[in-house]
Amino acid sequence: MSQIYSGVKAAVIGCGGAGRGHAAKAKSLGIELVGFCDEIEAKAESARAEFGGRYATPDAGRIMRDDSIDLLVIATHHDAHHPIALAGARAGKHILLEKPMCVTRVQAIEVAEAVEKAGVKLVINCKFRIAPTAQKARALLSRPRLSHGQLAMNDSSQSGSTWVWHPDDGGGLLISTAVHTIDLLAYLMDSEPDRVYAEGQVFGENKGAGGYPDALVGTILWKTGALSTVISADQGMNTFVSKWFHEVWDGQRSAVFSAHMGRVDFGGCDIDYLDTRELPDEEQQQASMMVNLLEAIRTDGDTLCNAHDGVRTVSICNALDEAVRTGKPQTVPN
């Protein structure tokens, strides 16, 4: 596989945990890592030293002006996703953009328009939808009627990523982290959203920065008439329930996801369960948004989580937040 992609040249912008993870994946696929950028130059240099590359820089503009670079990995804090993705698309680079696509719907639409105009490929790393468990459930349950998605704990305080709570650089827990759940529900329900409602609560523990709720419980009515419930909360680690939990029903069949999307148990289907950890290594490694982007570039096809998907997911998150803020149900713009 690495031979297929060996002509691709990439840069990583945002050299923290996620950026370095993508650099390792890119290297394993034979991609040449040309440049590393971080506003903290030492982090860019440390990544360059680890993965190789021609230069490290604190200036994203240098990466944009480098015509040798085909592909950008953007793994910065969330406030920088919009300006950097916009500049990347305008510079004609293909983009792997970490979630969330942007913090606001207006920003996401601007990026989507720039991507379309430039004719570049964009994948957003809402990676739950590429998990073999999600792929199987989507194949077995067509247009579910009901679903539930839940993030009920988060290790941001342990990992040091407390910035996700910040209204400015993170945007709060929903858009920062539970965005994975919203995106998965949109994918599995296979519908545009219609209306949402939510209640939020600040339980304290110094997490809901700036009054942002550290617990949000919401509903989504889809255009198909289907319904979802959502929990986005940080209630500390829990040894009994996975950090993530999702359930889907279509009236006859059901799917229950656990083990960080690693396992799905089916009811009413020909198979009882799928556990990703039992799959061959190569199959597990293929379930990657970077591979998906590279295949979209190679075949001139679409990515699994494209600009439209990103705009929709950000729009749902923004509408849920607005419902909490106003105490009123919100129609989600399409």
Ligand X SMILES: NC(=O)c1ccc[n+]([C@@H]2O[C@H](COP(=O)([O-])OP(=O)(O)OC[C@H]3O[C@@H](n4cnc5c(N)ncnc54)[C@H](O)[C@@H]3O)[C@@H](O)[C@H]2O)c1
| Footprint of ligand X on 182-221 (CB under 6 A) | none
Neighbours of 210 (CB within 10 A): 10
For 12, the enclosing helix (H) or strand (E) is: strand 9-13
> Kind of pairing, strands 55-57 and 330-331?
unpaired
Q: What angle do CA 332, 156, 23 make, to 5 degrees?
A: 90
- Please identify, using beta-carbon distances, which residue of 183 and 250 lies nearer to ligand X: 183
Is residue 16 within the footprint of ligand X (CB under 6 A)? yes
Find the residue with minimal CB distance to ligand X. 16
Single out the residue of 14, 208, 218, 310 in contact with ligand X (rule: CB under 6 A): 14
| Footprint of ligand X on 52-71 (CB under 6 A) | 60
- Please identify, using beta-carbon distances, which residue of 44 and 233 lies nearer to ligand X: 44
Q: Bridge partners of 13?
A: 37, 74
**Do 80 and 57 meet the contact criterion of CB atoms below 8 Å apart?**
no
# residues near ligand X by CB under 6 A: 24
Single out the residue of 77, 93, 94, 246 in contact with ligand X (rule: CB under 6 A): 77
Q: Where are the alpha helices (DSSP H) in 29-155?
A: 41-51, 60-65, 81-90, 105-118, 132-140
Binding mask 160-189 for ligand X (x = CB under 6 A): -x--------------x-------------
Is residue 127 within the footprint of ligand X (CB under 6 A)? yes
**Do 100 and 76 meet the contact criterion of CB atoms below 8 Å apart?**
no
In the bound complex, what is the minimum distance in angstroms from residue 254's beta carbon to ligand X? 26
> Token pair of 258, please?
């656990």
- Please identify, using beta-carbon distances, which residue of 65 and 223 lies nearer to ligand X: 65
Residues near ligand X, by CB under 6 A: 13-19, 37-40, 43, 60, 75-78, 80, 98-99, 125, 127, 161, 176
